[in-house]
Amino acid sequence: MGPVIGMTPDKRAGAPGAEKVAGLCQIDRMGSLPEAANAAGPKATLVGSDSADDELTNLNWLHESTNLLTNFSLGREGLPVVSPLYDIGEGDDVPSFGQSCYQNPEKKSATSKPPYSFSLLIYMAIEHSPNKCLPVKDIYSWILDRFPYFATAPIGWKNSVRHNLSLNKCFQKVERSHSKVNGKGSLWCVDPEYKPNLMQALKKQPFSSPQR
């Protein structure tokens, strides 16, 4: 790895490509969400779109998705038997999405890398929390819990998680200056405006993005 030079703290603001960071552009390409193509810029258009929102919030596609997931080869290897989308997509009332959704993850997918990008893993973790907010540490835990692959994966995956949180516009940092009781660091939540995009990506990812 090359040396990192010019580590200027104020890079972010000045960086020409700062608005177009790793994020949902691929989602735009994968899914058909033309509005989201402007995700780099103002993120307004997407939410305003009734049809898109409708399409994403109604759960029709979930059935399809579930079937597809079942057919997905890794599905037998410890991935959710029930798509995580079942919980995540259903609005505010949540989740009975627990361990029972998985088939002995410890044993079956210990060596299988999850077919989800880090962004989606983080998204699932956050959406799963009661408050829809999690500190990084809990995001690690959730991922480890559901995808034991990471228990034996090189430690770099945590770096990737943090990298994603930092860089991906889908995730918002929530300072918790008033309560440091729970440890250090901030809470992370999903930017609601990007949620449909993430859902869309979650729907598509396993079938269009084979792992490396």
- Please give the residue ranges that form the binding site for DNA (CB under 7 A): 1-13, 15, 20, 22-27, 29, 113, 116-119, 135-137, 140, 154, 156-160, 162-167, 173, 180, 183-186, 188, 201, 208-210, 212
The region, left, alpha or beta by phi > 0 then psi within -120 to 50, assigned to residue 185 is left
- In terms of CB distance, is 54 or 180 closer to DNA? 180
To DNA, the closest distance from the beta carbon of 189 in angstroms equals: 12
| Beta carbon nearer to DNA, 104 or 210 | 210
User: Minimal distance in Å, beta carbon 11 to DNA?
Assistant: 2
CB nearer to DNA: give 12 or 63.
12
User: Given the complex with DNA, which of 8 and 100 has the nearer CB atom?
Assistant: 8
| Nearer of residues 7 and 100 to DNA, judged by Cβ | 7
As measured in angstroms, the least distance from the Cβ of 161 to DNA is 9
Longest Cα–Cα distance of the chain, Å, equals 50
Residue 15, both tokens:
């960086």
Taking the complex as a whole, the smallest distance from the CB of residue 53 to DNA amounts, in Å, to: 21
Q: Say how many C-beta atoms besides its own lie within 10 A of residue 66's C-beta.
A: 17
Cα gap 211→41, rounded to integer Å: 29
DSSP per residue over 13-35, as a string? HH-TTTTS-SSSHHHHHHTT-GG
CB of residue 50 to DNA, shortest distance in Å? 25
Residue 97, phi-psi category: left (phi > 0), alpha (psi -120 to 50), beta (remainder): beta
- Minimum separation from the CB atom of position 89 to DNA (A): 19
Cα separation values, 212 from 33, 38, 100, 115, 161, Å: 25, 28, 28, 10, 17
How far is the CA of 133 from the CAs of 98, 125, 136, 162, 198, in angstroms?
17, 9, 10, 15, 16
Closer residue to DNA in complex, CB, 4/93: 4
Residue the block writes with tokens 């998985």: 102
